[in-house]
Structure 1
Amino acid sequence: MTKYDLVADVGATNARFALTQGSSPALVHIKVLACADYPSLEAAVSAYLASTGAAGLIIKACIAIAATVHLPEFSLANNHWCVNKAQVNAVLKVEALWINDFTAQAWAMSEITDDELLVVKQGQAEMWGNRLVMGPGTGLGVAGLIAYDKGWLPVMGEGGHVGFAPTNRLHAEILTYMWDNYGHVSTERLLSGSGMMDLYAAVAHVNATHPRLTNPTDVLQQAQLSTPDDLAHQTLCLFCDMLGNAVANGALMFGAVGGVYLTGGILPRMYDFLLASEFGHSFTNKGRTSPYLHQIPIYLCTAEQPGLQGASIALKHESRRKDVTA
Structure 2
Amino acid sequence: MNQPCLVADIGGSNARFGLVEKSGGSVVHVRTLPVAAHAGLAEAVESYLAGLPGGADALPIKPVLGAVAVATAIAGDRVEFTNSPWSFSIEAVRTRLGLDKLLVLNDFEALALSLPRLRGDQLHAPDGLPTPKGTLAVIGPGTGLGVGGVIETAHGWVALPGEGGHATLAPADDYESELLALVRRDYAHVSAERLLSGIGLPVLHGAVARQAGHMVAPALTAEQIVEAGTTGSDALCVRTLEVFCALLGGFAGSVALTLGARGGVYIGGGIVPRLGELFFRSRFRERFEAKGRFRGYLEVVPTVLITDTLAALSGAALALEQIDL
> Structure 1 residues 287-296 or 207-216, which shifts more?
207-216
TM-score by length of 2: 0.92
- In structure 1, the partner of 2:211 is 206
1:203 deviation in Å?
0.7
Q: Which stretches in structure 1 are left out of the alignment for 5+ residues?
A: none
- In structure 1, the partner of 2:158 is 153
**RMSD across aligned positions (CA):** 2.0
Give the distance between the partners of 1:50 and 1:127, measured in 2 at CA.
38
Secondary structure of the residue that 1:282 maps to in structure 2? helix
1:99-123 superposed Cα distances (whole Å, 9 cap, x missing partner)? 1001111111121122322115x48
- In structure 2, the partner of 1:306 is 311
- In structure 2, the partner of 1:248 is 253
Give the distance between the partners of 2:130 and 2:66, measured in 1 at CA.
34
1:285-306 superposed Cα distances (whole Å, 9 cap, x missing partner)? 1100000000101111122510
Pick the aligned partner of 2:241 from 236, 244, 257. 236
1:126 deviation in Å?
7.5
Percent sequence identity is 36
TM-score by length of 1: 0.91
Pick the aligned partner of 1:85 from 78, 82, 90. 90
Secondary structure of the residue that 1:45 maps to in structure 2? helix
1:238-274 superposed Cα distances (whole Å, 9 cap, x missing partner)? 0001000000000001111111111111111113011
- In structure 1, the partner of 2:56 is 54
Give the distance between the partners of 2:96 and 2:313, measured in 1 at CA.
19
Amino acid at match of 2:28: V
1:160-186 superposed Cα distances (whole Å, 9 cap, x missing partner)? 011111111111111112211121111
- In structure 2, the partner of 1:10 is 10
Say yes or no: does 1:32 pair with 2:38: no
- In structure 2, the partner of 1:189 is 194
Amino acid at match of 1:300: L
2:120–2:129: 8 Å Cα contact kept in structure 1?
A: no
Give the distance between the partners of 2:228 and 2:292, measured in 1 at CA.
34
Amino acid at match of 2:82: A
Amino acid at match of 1:15: A
Give the distance between the partners of 2:308 and 2:131, measured in 1 at CA.
23
1:228 deviation in Å?
3.3
1:129–1:257: 8 Å Cα contact kept in structure 2?
A: yes
2:33–2:44: 8 Å Cα contact kept in structure 1?
A: yes
1:71-91 superposed Cα distances (whole Å, 9 cap, x missing partner)? 321321111112221221122
Say yes or no: does 1:101 pair with 2:103: no
Pick the aligned partner of 1:219 from 211, 220, 225. 225
1:150-205 superposed Cα distances (whole Å, 9 cap, x missing partner)? 63111000010111111111111111122111211110000011110000011111
1:220–1:270: 8 Å Cα contact kept in structure 2?
A: yes
Give the distance between the partners of 2:195 and 2:176, measured in 1 at CA.
11
Q: Which stretches in structure 2 are left out of the alignment for 5+ residues?
A: none
- In structure 1, the partner of 2:118 is 112
